[in-house]
Amino acid sequence: MVDTQEIEVIRAAKSKISEVDFDNLPFGKVFSDHMLLATYENGNWSRGSIRPYGDISVSPAMSSIHYGQSIFEGLKAFKSESNDVLIFRPEQNWERINKSAARLCMPSIPKELFLDGMKQLVDLDRNWVPTDNDCSLYIRPFMFATDPFLGVKPSDSYTFMIITSPVGPYYSKPLHLKVETEYTRAALGGVGFAKAAGNYAAAMLPAKIAQDQGVDQLIWTDAKEHRFIEEAGTMNMMMVIGDTLYTAPLTSTILPGVTRDSFLTLARDAGINIKEESVSTDMLIESIENNSLKEVFGVGTAATTAQVQKLTFKGKTYDLPAVESRTISNSIGGLLLDIKTGKATDNKGWNTKL
């Protein structure tokens, strides 16, 4: 049971759940009945409040709109066969949002507000957690600056919210990615490691240009030379070259994904060679040409394990090994999903059960 003392609960008069087609869930367009909201003023967080999902009213001078002091998180809850609701590693997201907050000069969020608030919210809307394979309840915590003030300075007031959305798969087929060698997602010393709203705005134009060329998403490279592989869209990128699993090391330009960490942990347990090292585009293309590139995939909460089938670099498109042949991503990705959904034993204590 969740401690219910701290958080105020105002229930929705009528559930909207009967209006939702759970067999055709889009990503991120349907929201469950309730949301959580807390405000920060004069150095203190208010008591959290769970209330019916709905619009909020803000000042047009609200500083997050003008200067982007706005951060978010993303995680998922699954329903097991025995009807338990399992939230995957929520304390990792709590730690990470506070790292994002520190970088953006925002206050940290108390653990009870973030975790107990989330558990209580998800428990209240537990009927919204889909049961189908490939579906889950996406949980979106976020915080934004609310001072009605146009001066550029850290806001004194903030709002923290959690909304939840039942979702189906993010990508429905293997991806075609283009190695981006002009635009930059993140530079050393910047905010790439944070889930800062502005990072995603800055990535939209390069992604759109690629999509207009028929590509699904981008592979980001380092800001200085565009020579080293960083991430794939909003996923951490993994490659199997020979018998080694490569992924970029966690610098200030890499978002430290919970999926990345979980995947590496399970791969290490399975005795797979892992190198958290930068892979250059030269090495990547060479490994395609000499057939040592076995697997390329992205990992992230929304996309889970997203296979990459085609890769475009400097105008040339390469076809990658068949998805069925990819032993590491298929086995580890499958095990990870089985742990999340309660089908495999969670001996890491990763799931929070409601």
Ligand X SMILES: *Cc1c(COP(=O)(O)O)cnc(C)c1O
Q: Which residues bind ligand X (CB under 6 A)?
A: 74, 195, 231, 234-236, 255, 257-260, 300-301
The minimum distance between CB 75 and ligand X, in angstroms, equals: 7
Rank residues 52 and 169 by Cβ distance to ligand X and give the closer one.
169
Burial (Cβ within 10 Å: 0-12, 13-18, ≥19) of residue 172: exposed
Strand 136-145 relative to strand 75-79, pairing: antiparallel
Residue 210: CA count within 13 A, CB half-sphere:
28
- What lies within 8 Å, CB to CB, of 88 at 6+ separation is 75, 76, 77, 78, 258, 262, 301, 340, 350, 351, 352
Element (H or E) spanning 218, and its range? Answer: strand 217-221
Which of 77, 89, 66 has its CA nearest to residue 341?
77
The minimum distance between CB 263 and ligand X, in angstroms, equals: 9
The minimum distance between CB 265 and ligand X, in angstroms, equals: 13
Rank residues 7 and 300 by Cβ distance to ligand X and give the closer one.
300
Total Cβ atoms within 10 A of residue 64: 22
Rank residues 90 and 117 by Cβ distance to ligand X and give the closer one.
90
Asked if residues 352 and 129 have their Cβ atoms less than 8 Å apart, the reply is: no
3-class SS at 40? Answer: strand
Rank residues 262 and 281 by Cβ distance to ligand X and give the closer one.
262
The minimum distance between CB 207 and ligand X, in angstroms, equals: 12
Rank residues 30 and 186 by Cβ distance to ligand X and give the closer one.
186
The minimum distance between CB 231 and ligand X, in angstroms, equals: 5
The minimum distance between CB 73 and ligand X, in angstroms, equals: 8
Rank residues 258 and 293 by Cβ distance to ligand X and give the closer one.
258
3-class SS at 306? Answer: strand
The minimum distance between CB 328 and ligand X, in angstroms, equals: 17
Cα separation, 88 vs 297, whole angstroms: 21
Burial (Cβ within 10 Å: 0-12, 13-18, ≥19) of residue 44: exposed
Q: For 322, which DSSP code? A: P
Rank residues 100 and 120 by Cβ distance to ligand X and give the closer one.
100
The minimum distance between CB 301 and ligand X, in angstroms, equals: 3
Rank residues 143 and 255 by Cβ distance to ligand X and give the closer one.
255
What is the crossing angle of helices 327-340 and 258-269, to 10°? 110
